[in-house]
Amino acid sequence: MNTSLIDLAKTLLEIKSISPEDKGCFDIVENYLNPLGFETKRINYLNVENLYSTIGSKGPLFCFLGHTDVVPSGPEELWDIDPFKPEVIGDYLIGRGAADMKGAVATFLATAKEFLAENPNPNFRICVFLTSNEEGEPADGKINKIIKDLQDAGEHIDYCLVGEASSSLKLADTIRLGRRGSLSGSLIIKGKQGHVAYPDKVNNPIHLTGKVIDTLKEMTWDEGNEFFQPTSFQVSNIHSGTGATNVVPGHLEMKFNLRFSSESSEDSLKDKILSVLDRFGIEYEIEWTLNAIPFITKQTFFKDVVMKSIDSIMGYEPEINNGGGTSDGRWVAPMGTEVIELGPINETIHQINEKVNINDLEKLKYIYKEILINLNQV
């Protein structure tokens, strides 16, 4: 086995790059790509570092999209190893970020190197586009700003391969052509505080909220479509009460989230929720956060290339599933880019003892390379 890919992944995993910090991962990436002929730009917004590295001067632009930040390790004593001292145990490389997604980032680099060694003058351009704030909260430092700058500079990404861990039970059994949208709400329901013994003198916000939740959890937001499951609503936090058993509280705080299909919009969802609150005559304050709008790649050219490449390396075609959380593909898709997510098995992402199978990473490299080879034949 070629160990350089795994060594490269380990080098990245040793860096404690918790969102939104890169902590030197990009130095490793730049030092790897520039000797291959890539030109690398470091674009920093606020505290967030981004790397945009390109090679080639003709043809469509293919992009490897990923991130170098990781989520915190959680309690280190629960890990079998130090989460930032990666180790290969059996067939698995263990460490925070192994599957999400430094393993894939290392695979991007190794793929580019091998492909360019065999095809020094391809018919298309390649870029590696990385951010250090994928996992963090939406902020101005996210890559949407940089995409806008790229567009303003006349750049257009034609094909984008996101290395997020899309696979479910075996490598490349699942790819994503899009993701659902995400809308969060932070709601304060106002009532009237008082003594529990005088029910006619209070207005219990907990009881009011019970009716609201009952209605919202039964609501049909949409039926979904061929690309997405129906929109779903979940309450994630709820808090009220003074701690005393004989006091009706004056207000209740609740946080909720909707994962929504392209059949709903930010406005249609807000309207439905506000109309429920109004129907019950509730006094409230609400703050919204739109984390992501849904995106879907409907063009089929790049999808067909990816399907064919997976089939020729793995001997099976992947299923298309557009579930899961959000990804940075959402920022690239509005350019009109064909965006596909294909990465390692996602079983352990964000968990204790996050791991990736080292044979899978090698195979992922062959799939990525096959995609580039197929693109080069067009």
Confirm or reject binding of residue 100 to Zn ion (CB under 5 A).
yes
Marked catalytic residue, from 69, 100, 158, 370: 69
Residue nearest to Zn ion (CB): 100
Counting other chains too, the contacts that 269-278 makes at CB distance below 8 Å and 24 or more residues apart are: 269/183, 269/221, 269/231, 270/183, 272/219, 272/221, 273/185, 273/216, 276/212, 276/215, 276/216, 276/219, 277/212
The reply on whether position 202 binds Zn ion by CB under 5 A is no
Q: At 9, phi and psi to the nearest 5?
A: -60, -45
* Region of 28-36, 97-105, 107-115, 305-313 interacting with Zn ion (CB under 5 A): 97-105
Q: d(Cα 143, Cα 71) in Å, to the nearest integer?
A: 18
- DSSP, collapsed to helix, strand or coil, labels residue 34 as helix
For Zn ion, the closer CB: 101 or 161: 101
| Spatial separation of the C-alpha atoms in residues 182 and 201, rounded to whole Å | 39
Question: What minimum distance in Å lies between the beta carbon of 208 and Zn ion?
Answer: 38
Residue (272 or 355) nearer to Zn ion, CB: 355
Closest approach of Zn ion to the CB of residue 327, in Å = 7
* Lookup: tokens for 186: 């932070």
CA 243 to chain centre: 38
Determine which one of 134, 158, 354, 360 is catalytic.
134
Q: At 259, is the secondary structure helix, strand, or coil? A: strand
Q: Which is nearer to Zn ion, 66 or 294 (CB)?
A: 66
Distance, in Å, from the CA atom of 348 to the CA atom of 341, rounded to the nearest integer, reads: 17
Q: Which stretch binds Zn ion (CB under 5 A): 36-44, 101-109, 314-322, 369-377?
A: 101-109
- Min CB(330)–Zn ion separation in Å: 13
CB atoms within 10 A of CB 209: 22
Are 19 and 134 spatial neighbours (Cβ–Cβ below 8 Å)? yes
Decide whether 9 or 187 has the Cβ nearer to Zn ion: 9
Number of residues that bind Zn ion (CB under 5 A): 3
CB of 104 to Zn ion, least distance (A): 9
Residue numbers 64-93 binding Zn ion by CB under 5 A = none
Q: What CA–CA distance (Å, rounded) separates 171 from 311? A: 12
For Zn ion, which is the closer residue by CB, 341 or 370? 341
What residues numbered 270-309 form the site for Zn ion, per CB under 5 A? none
Min CB(344)–Zn ion separation in Å: 11
Site string for Zn ion, 139-178 (x = CB under 5 A): -------------------------x--------------
Q: Using CB under 5 A, which of 12, 101, 109, 202 touches Zn ion? A: 101
In one-letter notation, the amino acid at residue 275 is: S
Contact flag: residue 341 with Zn ion (CB under 5 A):
no
Nearer to Zn ion, 138 or 194 (CB): 138
134 in catalytic set: yes
Q: How far is the CB of 102 from Zn ion (least distance, A)?
A: 10
- Render 63-106 in DSSP notation, one character per residue: EEEEE--B-----GGGSSS-TTS-EEETTEEESTTIIIIIHHHH
Q: Which of residues 313-332 bind Zn ion (CB under 5 A)?
A: none
Please tell me the distance from the alpha carbon of residue 362 to that of residue 103, in angstroms, as a whole number: 10
Catalytic residues: 69, 134
Chain residues in the site for Zn ion (CB under 5 A): 100-101, 164
